[in-house]
A and B are shown apart, each in its own frame.
Chain A
Amino acid sequence: SYVLTQPPSVSVAPGKTAKIACGGNNIGTKSVHWYQQKPAQAPLLVIYDESDRPSGIPDRFSGSNSGNTATLTISSVEAGDEADYYCQVWDSNTDHYVFGTGTKVTVL
């Protein structure tokens, strides 16, 4: 089955840029969604179709996707961005969704 691999953790200083990778075989050919999950909260969609932002999501959040890696970029990181982040793709070979392993972003 399709596997999405993320680094377990990313640390970033306030005001700097955080990049979260999501690795998968030919992921560049798929639409990637990204979710933010804060402790004891439901996930929140922050990027869909690799680079589009839902209404209300600041433009500090951006996404890209090419080859075997999709990337979520958080610019000018704030303390409130500290959360777990998950990528998600639809595997059309098996008709089911796959989530990445998740990345914990820590703001130093």
Chain B
Amino acid sequence: QLHLLESGPGLVKPSETLSLTCTLSGGSMTTTPHFWGWIRQPPGKGLEWLGSISYSGNSYQNPSLRGRLTISVDTSKRQFSLELASVTAADTAVYYCSRHAGEYVVHPSDLWGQGALVTVSS
């Protein structure tokens, strides 16, 4: 059974960098090619797609993040990561990692992590 699990600090200070890692268990990231994504949800609000990356490192990002986002993948560790720079309180959210259903980013997210709450506060 495949599982995704987000990990990282639950509290980040304003202006610092938010870093999260998503680890895949129960399978390989390279047996069949997939895109891997990050989505967030501020408390009481809707979903926002942040970005997605392929197993080979090809990535897409939400332009609203204005270059603050870095997504990387390490298939040998079965992990992909998110770094969001210069955070403010508006970045407080539950961050989800996900797997796209296939090798193209247009495939939907068919596997999700449980989500990790990250609060931006001093």
Contacts and interface: CB of A to CB of B under 8 A. Distances in A.
B46 interface: yes
A96 B114 contact: no
B17 interface: no
Size range of the interface on B? 20 to 34
Contacts, number: 58
A28 interface: no
B89 interface: no
A97 B52 CA distance: 9
Given A42-B96, A96-B63, A86 B47 contact: yes
A59 interface: no
- Of the listed residues A43, A44, A86, A97, the one surrounded by the most CB atoms of chain B closer than 10 A to its CB is A97
Contacts of B60: 95-96
SS class of chain A's interface: helix, strand, loop or mixed? strand
SS class of chain B's interface: helix, strand, loop or mixed? mixed
Given A88-B108, A99-B39, A101-B46, 20 more contacts: A1-B63, A35-B47, A35-B109, A42-B96, A42-B112, A42-B113, A43-B47, A43-B96, A45-B109, A45-B110, A48-B110, A94-B63, A96-B62, A97-B49, A97-B62, A97-B105, A98-B49, A99-B47, A99-B48, A100-B46
Interface of A: 1, 31, 33, 35, 37, 42-45, 48-49, 54, 86, 88, 90, 94-102
17 contacts: A1-B63, A33-B108, A35-B47, A42-B114, A44-B112, A45-B109, A45-B110, A86-B46, A88-B47, A88-B49, A94-B63, A95-B60, A96-B60, A97-B37, A97-B49, A97-B52, A97-B62
Interface of B: 37, 39, 46-49, 52, 60-64, 96, 101, 105-110, 112-115
